[in-house]
Homo-oligomer: A and B are copies of this chain.
Amino acid sequence: MIKIAIDALGGDNGVDTTVKGSMLAIQEFKDIEIILYGDIDKINPLLTNKERISIVDTKVQVSMGEKDPVKAIRTLKDSSLVMALKAGKDKEVDAVVTAGPTQCVVVGAHLIVKKLPQMSRIALCPIMPNFDGNPRLLLDVGANVELRPEHINELALFASITAECALNIKNPKVGLLNIGSEPGKGREVDKETFILLSQNKNINFYGNVETFDIVDSPVDVMITDGFSGNMVMKTMEGTGKTMAKMLKQEIKSSLGGKIGYLFMRKNLARFAKRMDSKEVGGAMILGIGTPVVKAHGNSNDYAFKNAIKQVRNMVSNDLINKVTALLPSTEDKE
């Protein structure tokens, strides 16, 4: 039985989403057991089926607008987020899912769950939609502002095995996001990273990938430092959102557009779904000793259920042991 801790108070919709999503996951996966960390008085009325679900009561929530993640994680020890992560650290559970505020989850993963002794850094790794319908991994999107080549090389291995375990991709192709596709492109850090990745026998390194291909990518895993990854991810999301807004505006601007919309409503809904990151899954924290998935803050039941599915796959496919076996054994890294 795979035990999963849920931060039931996290996310824009709190218990409404997390409790319903948990019940959906329990129905779909017979090999999981869920522990909800949250307000028992709010959870109980929603919990219409208690099969394989237990509750650890806490009323304290990490606010979605939290401006000081380090302080929040250090002081709110009885918050649903910190308690769920602590359970992950202490191996009371096999994995953790939260829809809480991203930077608090990253800081919590870092300070509470802690990185594997063989890893130098952790990374935030969302799943990105792609033209062909097969999701891609992108990292780091903001756990670190800067990463040295050896950090990116370690994280590339972790991400590669994560792509296998979480998304069932065999021998995933790993690409270095860069400003040109030929070797020798980019900053010094990118050139050095390219060499390390080329020499890494534990990954299937494809070479450089340009961001022009971000949604139509030739690789399964796209890696770069946390500053660049964050800039790229938000550019993609923002462009998608603004284009959708433009499209709506143009369609509404004339009678022909409105009539046309009636005919192609379903087509447009499918189009929107293809770019919807809620469809593809939550962001994973890589580099730590217990799988943690950060579902979107505005997840609905279905998206939250999918985040649970994602973390379940990571556990049942033995992600952490597979990574540990391939990392060179070493004393604890800074």
B-binding residues in A (CB < 8 A)? 131, 142, 145-146, 177, 179, 186-187, 190, 210-216, 224, 226-228, 230-232, 234-243, 245-247, 250-251, 253-254, 256-257, 259-268, 270-271, 274-275
In the complex formed, the residue of B with least CB distance to A133 is B246
Q: B266 and A254: CB pair below 8 A?
A: yes
Q: What are some 25 contacts across the A-B interface (CB < 8 A)? A: A145-B179, A179-B226, A190-B227, A211-B232, A212-B238, A212-B241, A214-B234, A214-B242, A215-B243, A216-B238, A224-B231, A228-B228, A239-B239, A239-B240, A246-B271, A246-B274, A250-B270, A251-B264, A251-B267, A254-B264, A256-B267, A257-B263, A259-B263, A260-B261, A263-B263
Q: B235 and A214: CB pair below 8 A?
A: yes
From the candidates B228, B236, B254, B271, name the one contacting A227 in the complex (CB within 8 A): B228
Which of the listed residues A179, A213, A253, A259 has the most CB atoms from chain B within 10 Å of its own CB? A179
- 15 new A-B contacts, CB < 8 A, other than A131-B242, A254-B266, are A131-B245, A179-B231, A211-B234, A214-B235, A214-B239, A216-B238, A227-B228, A239-B243, A243-B275, A250-B264, A250-B267, A256-B267, A257-B267, A259-B264, A260-B260
A239 cross-chain contacts in B, Cβ below 8 A: 214-215, 235-236, 239-240, 243
A263 cross-chain contacts in B, Cβ below 8 A: 256-257, 259-260, 263
From the candidates B186, B227, B243, B256, name the one contacting A243 in the complex (CB within 8 A): B243
Q: A243 and B242: CB pair below 8 A?
A: no
Q: A131 and B246: CB pair below 8 A?
A: yes
From the candidates B145, B241, B256, name the one contacting A266 in the complex (CB within 8 A): B256
Q: A231 and B211: CB pair below 8 A?
A: yes
* Minimum distance in angstroms from A217 CB to a CB of chain B: 9
* Minimum distance in angstroms from A156 CB to a CB of chain B: 18
Q: A271 and B250: CB pair below 8 A?
A: yes
Given the known A-B contacts A146-B187, A261-B264, A264-B257, are A231 and B232 also in contact in the complex, defined by CB atoms under 8 Å?
A: yes
In whole angstroms, what is the CA distance A263 to B259 when docked? 7
* Minimum distance in angstroms from A102 CB to a CB of chain B: 11
Given the known A-B contacts A214-B239, A215-B243, A243-B240, are A227 and B179 also in contact in the complex, defined by CB atoms under 8 Å?
A: yes
Given the known A-B contacts A238-B215, A245-B131, are A145 and B187 also in contact in the complex, defined by CB atoms under 8 Å?
A: yes
A224 cross-chain contacts in B, Cβ below 8 A: 231
* Minimum distance in angstroms from A62 CB to a CB of chain B: 18
From the candidates B142, B251, B275, name the one contacting A179 in the complex (CB within 8 A): B142
